[in-house]
Structure 1
């Protein structure tokens, strides 16, 4: 009887430790997220399941071209790509990104810039035209979806406060044919 009671207690402790670890991992380190919509195509597909790294920005700042998850103004979580960092002057001219006056390649858009797809993927703009500021404000990032024709991003909602960023994501774990790291 004592052996059964001791074994039960050991299993209970192991289960409690497992639950505690799972809780810490889920709420503080990593979380699953589902892509909702087509604004990040072709990089991400609607309903892709991804792993969000919640602690990546606890020890550092976002980098240009990171794919981030953030709280959008209407209460939804958005997945977009960081284009501009605090202090950057951002503009698009003839479908080319300019950061601080220098053209910056965006190889992840090559598939969407095929000649048979009529017109520019990204309409020309300057940051000043969009937000009445010459540079991305301190404490903010400027984000765009990869599918520029269908994305609701910083061109519409303005710069994203860094403290609204929930995490970074670049690992697709479902569907199986899309499993891998995205850039």
Structure 2
């Protein structure tokens, strides 16, 4: 009887530990759709860390602002105070041009003469810069992604985690190369 109680106690402590980790440290996420191709693929399972500082180009998961009950996975392009401009398929943040190597595969395969990312600036959001408490996010598959260009700027409080690790399928297992 003593061994049974020890086993039950161990299982309860272990379950509590796992619950707390899941609640406060990480969350598993399933990628749905092709908006993050080629970085993430439909059906992949990833781990998002909670309680992390969000930086430019991090891939985050967040509660959709359109009350659809969905969670989205997108790349952070603009942080509070940033002036973001896309011109001639080039990203400018606060006047500085940034390469986006994660888009190179798509850009190399474009055959139609149109840019991967259409031109836009902060006037799209009736702002001059990303306001405090907001983020500008884009999917890597820019032509089909439902992101800040359609949804508007995202509330930073809606962020569920910073996607850092792919655990399924096994062929893609490992740290996410952003």
- Give the TM bin, normalised by the shorter chain: over 0.9
> Do residues 104 (structure 1) and 98 (structure 2) align?
yes
Residue 115 (structure 1) shift: 5.0
Moved more, 88-97 or 67-76: 67-76
Give the structure 1 partner of residue 82 of structure 2: 88
CA distance in 2 between counterparts of 1:44 and 1:117 reads 23
How far does residue 88 in structure 1 lie from its aligned partner after superposition?
0.4
In structure 1, what is the equivalent of residue 56 of structure 2? Answer: 64
RMSD of aligned alpha carbons: 1.0
Q: Any idea what the Cα deviations from partners look like across 1:8-56, whole Å, max 9, x if unmatched?
A: 1111111111111111111221121100000000000001000111222
Distance 1:66 1:156, change over 3 A: same
1:102-142 CA distances to partner (integer Å, 9 max, x unpaired)?
111111111110154322100011111x1111100111110
- Equivalent in the alignment of 2:38: 42
The reply on whether 1:123 has 2:118 as its aligned counterpart is yes
CA distance in 1, matches of 2:120, 2:37: 21
Cα distance in 1 for residues equivalent to 2:94 and 2:102: 20
**Using the alignment, how far apart are the partners of 2:21 and 2:109 within structure 1?**
45
Matched residue, 1:157: 151
Q: Which of structure 1's runs of 4+ aligned residues deviate more than 2 A?
A: 115-118
Report what 1:51 is aligned to: 47
Structure 2 length normalisation: TM-score?
0.94
Distance 1:115 1:174 in 2: 27
Q: 1:180 to 1:157 in 2, by over 3 A?
A: same
Distance 1:177 1:64, change over 3 A: same
Q: TM-score, normalised by structure 1?
A: 0.92
**CA 1:8/1:115 → structure 2, altered by over 3 Å: closer, same or farther?**
closer
Whichever of the two has the greater Rg, that structure is 1
Corresponding residue to 1:143 among 133, 137, 144: 137
Distance of aligned partners of 1:77 and 1:98 in 2 relative to their CA distance in 1, 3 Å threshold = same
CA distance in 2, matches of 1:66, 1:146: 12
List runs of 5+ in structure 1 lacking aligned partners.
none
